[in-house]
Structure 1
C-alpha cells in the first residue's frame, strides 16, 4: 500500500554488504527455474518449480520435527530460504525495501555485524513462523523476514529520517514522512487482525508472522545492543545532544530531517 523510493539519510561509506545481498538475491533468482517460467508454465516446468521451492525453502514441520527432506541437517533450509523468491514481484518488492533502508543500518552496525544480523535475523524469523505454524508443510521462501529485521533496526535508529514514498491510491503522489510513520504503518499492516479491521483481505501465501517477528527482533536487538553501545562520541548521540541544547547539528552528523527546497530528495540522492 506504500512504496518507499528514497530516504534522506546519508551514509559515511558505501553499503557494499547491502548491495552484495541484493546482487546475491537477484543472481539466485535468475539461476532458478522461476525467473523465466512465464505466466502459465506447463506441467513439467511447474513440477520443477515446486521441487526447487521444496528443496531450498524452509518447511515448518520439517524444521521443528527433524525430518531432513533432502536438505541434510534441518537447520540449513532456514538459511537457504532467505535467498529464494517465488516470483518477480516478490523479489523486487523485497529488494526495494532492502535498498532504501539497509544502507543506513549497515553504516551504523558495521559490515560484518550487519551481515550476521541480516542472516541470523532471517533464520530466526523463519523459525518463529515455524513455531507459530508447526504443522505447515508448504515451503517458506523469501528475504522478507531478514529485511523485516533491518526495518525494525532502522525504526529504532532513525525514527525521524525523512522517507519519500508513493501512495497508489493518490495516483502515486510522492510524500515525505518520518520513517517511524512509514515503518509503523508497514508493521501494523502485517497483522491479519488489523487487516480484517480495515477490510483488507490478507493472503494465505504471505508469511505475516515472519514479518512481524523479524521486525520486533530487529527493533529489540538495535535497542539492546546498538542503543546501549553508543559512546559519547557517537554521531547520533552528538546530534541528539546538540538538538536538546539548541546548539544546532554537529557537522559530522548531517540533519537528515531538514528539507532543502532546491533538492527535495536530499543532497545524497541514491
Structure 2
C-alpha cells in the first residue's frame, strides 16, 4: 500500500486551493468536537444508517434519547465529516491534501465543492443500496475522497507522485501506478466476503461518481489523461 506525500503538479488556474483547505479544516474541527463534546450515540445520529435512510418512518430510540433528530436524508451530507478515529481522519485528509488541489484547479472552487459533496452522497447511497437493511452507522470522508482520487487519475495519470511504500520506503512513481493500485485494492475487497468496519462499496461509489463528474465539471479546455504532456511529465 502506498501513502501519498507530494505530487509534482503545480496549479495552473487558481492561486490557492481554498475549498480543499476548508474541507480539511471542517473535517478536523468536526473530529475535535467528536473527541471532546459528542458521545457515540450523538455521532451515530449524523451517520448513514441504511435501514433508516430507506425507511424514513423509523426513528431510532438511541437518537431520541440523545436529543438529536438529524433528518435521514441530511445524513448523506453529515456522515462524510465524521470519522471513527484519528487514523481514519488522517488518511482521508492526506489523500485530499495531495490530490484535491489539482482537481479543484481543474474545476474551479465552486464546482469542486459540488463535486466533492456529490461524490460523498453517491458513495453513501451505493453503500446503502448494497445492504439496505443494515443498521450499522457509516461515517467518514472516504467515499468523497475516492471521488477525488478517481478524478485525479482521469486528469493526471502521468504526473509523478512521491509516496511511501510499505509506510517506510520513499518512491517517485506515476499517479497511474499509485492510485491505480489503490483502486485495485478497493475492487478486490468488494469481491471478498465483507469482514471488518471498512465500507468498501462506498469507496466504489465514490470512484464511479468522481470518474464521471470530472468529465462534466472540468473547466473548458482542461484535457483528460494528461494529453499534450510528454512522457514522465
TM-score, length of structure 1 as denominator length: 0.75
Task: Using CA pairs under 8 Å that are at least 6 residues apart, name the structure with larger relative contact order, 1 or 2.
Answer: 2
- 1:56 CA drift (Å): 1.0
CA distance in 2, matches of 1:117, 1:166: 28
- 1:203 CA drift (Å): 4.5
Q: Which has the larger radius of gyration?
A: 1
The one-character-per-residue Cα deviations of 1:47-102 (angstroms, maximum 9, x if unpaired) are: x6320232111101111122344534321011110000110010001100000000
1:19 to 18, 21, 30: 21
Query: Which residue of structure 2 lines up, in the alignment, with residue 265 of structure 1?
Result: none
Structure 1 segment 1-270 matched on structure 2, within 5 A: 1-12=1-12, 13-32=15-34, 35=35, 49-66=39-56, 67-69=58-60, 70=63, 71-168=69-166, 172-193=168-189, 203-226=195-218, 230-231=220-221, 234=222, 236=223, 240-241=227-228, 257-258=232-233
Q: What SS does structure 1 have at the residue aligned with 2:48?
A: coil
* Cα RMSD after superposing both structures: 2.4
Q: Which 4+ residue blocks in structure 1 deviate beyond 2 angstroms? A: 67-73, 191-196, 223-226, 239-243
CA distance in 1, matches of 2:229, 2:85: 47
CA distance in 1, matches of 2:194, 2:7: 28
Report how many residues are paired: 222
Q: What SS does structure 2 have at the residue aligned with 1:177?
A: strand
User: What stretches of structure 2 of length at least 5 have no aligned partner?
Assistant: 64-68
Alpha-carbon spacing, 1:214–1:54, altered in 2? closer, same or farther (3 Å) = same
CA distance in 2, matches of 1:150, 1:188: 16
Q: What SS does structure 2 have at the residue aligned with 1:76?
A: helix
CA distance in 1, matches of 2:197, 2:74: 22
User: What stretches of structure 1 of length at least 5 have no aligned partner?
Assistant: 37-44, 244-254, 259-270
- 1:223 CA drift (Å): 3.0
Q: What SS does structure 2 have at the residue aligned with 1:204?
A: coil
CA distance in 1, matches of 2:109, 2:77: 19
CA distance in 2, matches of 1:80, 1:179: 30
Contact conserved, 2:50 with 2:133, CA < 8 A, in 1? Answer: yes
The one-character-per-residue Cα deviations of 1:95-133 (angstroms, maximum 9, x if unpaired) are: 000000000000111000000111121011101100001
The one-character-per-residue Cα deviations of 1:171-196 (angstroms, maximum 9, x if unpaired) are: 71111111111111111111345885
Q: What SS does structure 2 have at the residue aligned with 1:189?
A: helix
